[in-house]
Amino acid sequence: MKKNILVTGGAGYIGSHICLELLEQGYAVTVMDNLANSSEKALRRVEELAGKKLRFYKADIRDRSAYDEIFSQNEIYGVIHMAGLKAVGESVRDPLAYFDNNISGTVVLLEKMKEHHVKRMIFSSSATVYDLTQRECLTEESPIGNSTSPYGRTKLVIEQMLADLYHSDESWSIVLLRYFNPIGAHESGRIGEDPEGEPNNLMPYITQVAVGKREKLSVFGDDYDTPDGTCIRDYIHVMDLADGHSKAVKKFERKGLFVYNLGTGQPQSVLEVIHAFERANNLKINYVIAPRRAGDAPKYYANADKAKVELGWEAERSIEEMCRDSWNWQKNNPEGYR
């Protein structure tokens, strides 16, 4: 029988790509998503691309009765926990919503997993858990804490909660995946990033300028201590990230608490990404230099050697492929899933 993976937040940008990868790798997929910042159309397109069905429950991660329904109707092997609010700026304006949704929602999920004897979880964490003032190249042993936003703090608290849970009961298998900066889309152009309202990330701004939805792109600061003065990040193709999750599911065969960075280790500045996009798609992007944003670290990137050794995973797609696939999605879906 196929192993059934519950993906919370599976209709979102990263979640939909993970669902597709899991289906293609032979897993059964059950999705729980309240569609607050996602679309059910993404899941229908995942099914078309995979030529396979998944099960979808429209429900909030704080809804206890929804878990009883899901766990009683499906033999869930393990959970990939993606659901959560994720806009840094919004988290600064409304921290209580982030603590309630992200932290309280995870507590309810873990209580229900325990009740239904499902003790395997992959948690969608973030490089924001690291103390980014300490160093640029981040390993899993780098200092954590000192997050610059309530969003980052929710990821940190959940990581610590999962560690405490494992130390209290070593029959769990828990994998913390710390993402760097996911961009790109499935090469078909059928699924991709579709932010509601103001994007949180660089690439949707670039593609929205390219498709004519925005007049120009604002680059926040060009006076950082970096070669071209703009912030440097580790951008990773969302399909490489999805592949990392399907490889991490294999860790469920062992009890333990495992932590992995998912990044390329080849950082790019904001201007380098813009120019890579222009080269990959033969387009010109109109941008202006704007004042720095509060809380932006000048430079950080992943050391992902541990994932290569222990998961047999490494990022394969280039920055040009990330840019090409992002544009292919946007030009074919100028209004996203709407």
CA within 13 Å, CB half, 96 = 0
Q: What angle do CA 160, 161, 164 make, to 5 degrees?
A: 85
Contact call for residues 187 and 310 (beta carbons, < 8 A): no
Contact call for residues 149 and 127 (beta carbons, < 8 A): no
Note the residue count of the chain: 338
151 catalytic, yes or no?
A: yes
Cα–Cα distance between 241 and 232 in angstroms, integer?
19
Cα–Cα distance between 22 and 28 in angstroms, integer?
7
Q: What angle do CA 24, 22, 324 make, to 5 degrees?
A: 75
- Directed axis angle between helix 105-115 and helix 150-168, to 10°? 20
Tell me the torsion sign for CA atoms 40, 180, 151, 174: positive
Q: Residues 13, 27, 67, 151: which is the catalytic one?
A: 151
Catalytic residues: 151
